[in-house]
Amino acid sequence: MLLKRLSLATLLSLSVVGCTTAPNTLAVNTTQKIIQYERSKSDLAVKALTLNSGDKMVYAENGNVAGEPLLLIHGFGGNKDNFTRIAQQLENYNLIIPDLLGFGESSKPMAADYRADAQAMRLHELMQAKGVASNIHVGGNSMGGAISVAYAAKYPKEVKSLWLIDSAGFWSAGVPKSLEDATLENNPLLINKTEDFYNMYDFVMSKPPYIPKSVKAVFAQERIANKALESKILAQIIEDNVEERAKIIAEYNIPTLVVWGEEDKVIKPETVTLIKEIIPQSQIITMPEIGHVPMIEAVKQTANDYKAFREGLKAVELKAE
């Protein structure tokens, strides 16, 4: 995502573009420059791996290769840049932030399996290729949270901790009122036209950072182009309950931090109660006035809470030595 305060030069460029709903070349180029600026501030470089399937997985990584590896997994309709702003606050870790298959710059095969286990296996292949699979911390938002659970359940001896941010996959908690009437044909998370993106932006966040309409329009076109695949992916993930797999996390006593925005309209905040029942060792933090994506809405607070969680793990480790 983007800065709340854009540079003067960027604002001047966008004022030329205006608030059109159909992005022109200047809007697209300016948007890419802003994204690159954000990545450079967080010391993120974009890389790619060809998976055994032949598909390409694109990911961002910071320069702190000596830090403990932290795999961050975006949610439905998102991409690696959902974590770009918070990455600057997490510079002490070796951050690896992929575009999941089906999203961002990664391959988008229509016939692929997009459920949590399949995505987790692809991410594990990436971690193995980087030589960090045996000793990793994992975090994810929304769909990325469900994939994080699946990853830890598949490779419990390799995962040192979990960070679940408004996690999907705990479906027995029920659906929020805001989505009770949603279908795959009429869903605020799927984008058919530019205005849908504007509405979705405000739907998922209680405190959305400012982005000019011209930039949002660029993001909207990417989502519109991927709508058919996203519909298929959404149909798969809403049937993919990870609660049984989460019991493995409890069995292996994997330290888990659960963060939830109290104003989340996408997944019920009451889900934290269910997660605590399934994963008793989990620590719960709820954030007032925050929606579905705390790492974008409340960057510093979300980062500070996570760093405090990690410091707590260090203290426990030192005590055990």
Which of 13, 107, 142, 214 is flagged as catalytic?
142
Alpha helices per DSSP H over 159-242 = 194-204, 213-225, 227-237
- What is the spatial distance between Cα 284 and Cα 273, in angstroms, rounded to a whole number? 9
Is the separation of the CB atoms in 170 and 149 below 8 Å?
no
Instruction: Report the chain's terminal Cα–Cα distance, integer Å.
Output: 41
Is the separation of the CB atoms in 166 and 260 below 8 Å?
yes
Strand order of the β-sheet with 56-62 is 44-50, 56-62, 94-98, 69-73, 136-141, 159-165, 256-261, 283-287
User: Which amino acid is it at 237?
Assistant: I
| Helix (DSSP H) and strand (DSSP E) numbers for the chain | 12, 8
Residues in the chain: 321
C-alpha distances out from residue 117 to 169, 226, 263, 282, Å = 12, 22, 29, 22
Instruction: Indicate if 292 belongs to the active site.
Output: no
Q: What is the DSSP letter of 119?
A: H
- What is the spatial distance between Cα 113 and Cα 313, in angstroms, rounded to a whole number? 35
What values do phi and psi take at 253, rounded to 5? 55, 45
What values do phi and psi take at 232, rounded to 5? -65, -45
Which of 13, 42, 74, 214 is flagged as catalytic?
74
User: Which amino acid is it at 73?
Assistant: I
- What is the spatial distance between Cα 275 and Cα 287, in angstroms, rounded to a whole number? 16
Catalytic residues: 74, 142
